[in-house]
A and B are shown apart, each in its own frame.
Chain A
C-alpha cells in the first residue's frame, strides 16, 4: 500500500475529504438536502481532476496511472453521499429508492476491488460504470417525477462516467503520446497500477460498459436540456408575475411563518 502514502495520491484524496467535512458541517447546520448534494456530489470531480492534474499529472506522468484507482477510491465518498440522501428520503419507499441504495452501496464498496489487482480493471470498471449509470438513470427518472434534486444526480453521473474518462484520455494523449482513440492498458504488479480507460475501441470484455456509459450520458443530457427549459420557464413566469410574490420565499423556507 505504499502508493497510498505517496503525496501525489494523498493530496487529491485529502482535498475532497476536507471538502466533505466542510460540506457535512454545512449540511448538518442547514438541513438542506439540495445544498448537500450540490456541495458534495457536483463539484467533487472538478476538484479531484484539478488535484490530479496539478499534483500527479504534471509532476510525473507515470503517476497519472493512479488516476482511476483514486477515482474509484473517491467514489466511495459519493456512495456515502448517495446513501445519506437515501436515509433522508427513507419515507419514500419505492423502486427509485432501491436504485439509489444499490448505486450508493456499489460506489461505497467499489474501493474494495482495488485490493484485487488482477481482476479489478475489468470488474471494477464494470461495477463503477454500472453504479454511475444507475445514478444517471435515477437522476433522470426522479427529475421527471418532479424531484429537482434528480438533475444533480444526472450531472454527477455525466461528470463521473463520461467526462472524467475523457479528461483522462486527454491527459494520456498528452503525456503518453498515444492517439485519443487508442485503448491504454498498462499493468505493473509492483505498484498495482492499472490504467484502464474506456476509450474506443475497447476489448470485448468491456463491451457492456459502453451502452451504460452512453445511455447514462444521454439520459443525463436529456435531463439537462429539460432542466434548462424548466428553469427558463420558471424565470419567465416569475418575471411576468404569474408566480405570485412570496412563492419562492415559502418554497425555500424563508417566509416568516414558522
Chain B
C-alpha cells in the first residue's frame, strides 16, 4: 500500500517449540507455548502477503528446524526477499538437513555461548555444544555461510574471547554478541546480567578478535554510548534500536510484536491488516521517540540511541519508558 513503510527486517518466529532450555531465554511465550497454536504454511503465506516490502527476513523460534515444513517457510520468505537468515541452535543440523538448506542462499546463525561446559549449562542440554559444532561442520561441508552468535552473561564472560576465537577458527562469516537481557525465562535468572566491567570485557573481546582476524563483528543489542563510547571499539559495528521504524516481529501464531524481546502484542496479522497494526498507538509512540526515558532528556544523542533497549526496560522494570538496565547501576 502507498503509505506502508519499507521494513528493513522482519523476524518470523516460526515455532514455539524448542529442544534447548536456555536459562537466559527471552521468549515471552516460553512458559505457555503448549497452549498456543502455530500457523500452518497457508496461514503463514497469508500473513506474509499482508506485509509491506521488506529487505531481510530472520527465521527464528523456538527452534525453527523443529518445524517439518521449514523449507516451505523458507520458500515463502524467498518470494519476498533473497536475504534470509535462519537462527537455529544447530543441534538438528545433520548431513541431510544441511544438504536441503544448501539449496537456498541462507545465512545460518548458530549460537555458541561458551566453551563446552559453560555452553551446555547455559542451554540446558549436555550435548548442546558438540551437536551445535557438528551442525556447523555440516553447514561448512555443504558450503553454507554461517555466523556465530553469543549471549554474553556473567556466567560466560570469562571465556567470551575464546568463544569468539572459536568462531573464527571454525570459519564463521560474522561474529555477533548480544548482552543478556532479562525476559521470559531469563527473568528468573537476573544474576546473568553483565556488570559494567563485564560489559566492557564483552566489547573489548569482540573488538580484539575482529581486529586481529579481520572478521565482521556486531553487537546485537543497543549500546549506551554515553556510558560506553563506541569510538574505542573501531572493529565493531554497533546497531541501534529500530523498533517501530523499520522492524517487526511476527510470532508463530501470527501476532505482531515491536521486538522479539518485547512481550507487547500489537495485533494479530492473521486477522488484522498490516496498516492497523502499524498504526497501533504503542508503535506510533516508538516512532515518535516518546518512549525515550526522561533521564535522557538533556542528551544530545538521545535520538540516535533511543535510550538503549526499550524492550528490556519493559520486561525488567515493567515500563517501556524506564531506563535500560545497562544505563542504571545494576551490577
Interface of A toward B, CB cutoff 8 Å: 91-92, 144-146, 148, 222, 226, 229-230, 233-234, 237, 242-244, 246-248, 250-253, 255, 257-258
Contacts and interface: CB of A to CB of B under 8 A. Distances in A.
Interface of B: 94-95, 105, 115-116, 129-130, 133-134, 136-138, 140-141, 145-146, 162, 165-166, 168-173, 212-215
Contact of A242 (B95, B105, B115, B137): B115
B213 A244 contact: no
B134 A246 contact: yes
A243 B169 contact: yes
A146 B173 CA distance: 5
Contacts of A243: 133, 166, 169-170
B104 to A, nearest CB: 9
6 contacts: A146-B146, A146-B171, A229-B213, A250-B137, A251-B141, A253-B141
A257 B94 contact: yes
Leading 10 A-B pairs by shortest Cβ distance: A146-B173, A250-B137, A234-B169, A251-B137, A237-B169, A247-B137, A257-B95, A233-B169, A251-B140, A244-B130
A244 B129 contact: yes
B140 to A, nearest CB: 5
B251 to A, nearest CB: 31
Given A222-B214, A230-B213, 18 more contacts: A92-B105, A146-B145, A146-B171, A146-B172, A146-B173, A229-B212, A233-B165, A234-B169, A237-B169, A244-B129, A244-B133, A246-B130, A246-B134, A247-B133, A247-B134, A247-B137, A251-B137, A253-B141
Contacts of B169: 230, 233-234, 237, 242-243
Nearest to B212: A229
Nearest to A223: B214
A226 B137 CA distance: 21
Contacts of B170: 234, 243, 247
Contact of B214 (A144, A233, A234, A250): A144
Contact of B168 (A145, A233, A244): A233
Contacts of A252: 141
Given A234-B169, A247-B133, A257-B95, A242 B212 contact: no
Contacts of A237: 165-166, 169
Q: Which among A229, A230, A242, A255 has the greatest number of chain B C-beta atoms within 10 A?
A: A242
Contacts of A242: 115-116, 162, 166, 169
Nearest to A258: B95
Contacts of B165: 233, 237
A226 B213 contact: yes
A237 B112 CA distance: 15
A230 B168 contact: yes
Contacts of A145: 173
A234 B137 CA distance: 14
A244 B166 contact: no
Contacts of A148: 171
Contacts of B134: 244, 246-247, 250
Contacts of B129: 244
Contacts of A226: 213-214
Contacts of A229: 212-213
A248 B141 CA distance: 10
B18 to A, nearest CB: 22
A94 to B, nearest CB: 9
A84 B101 CA distance: 23
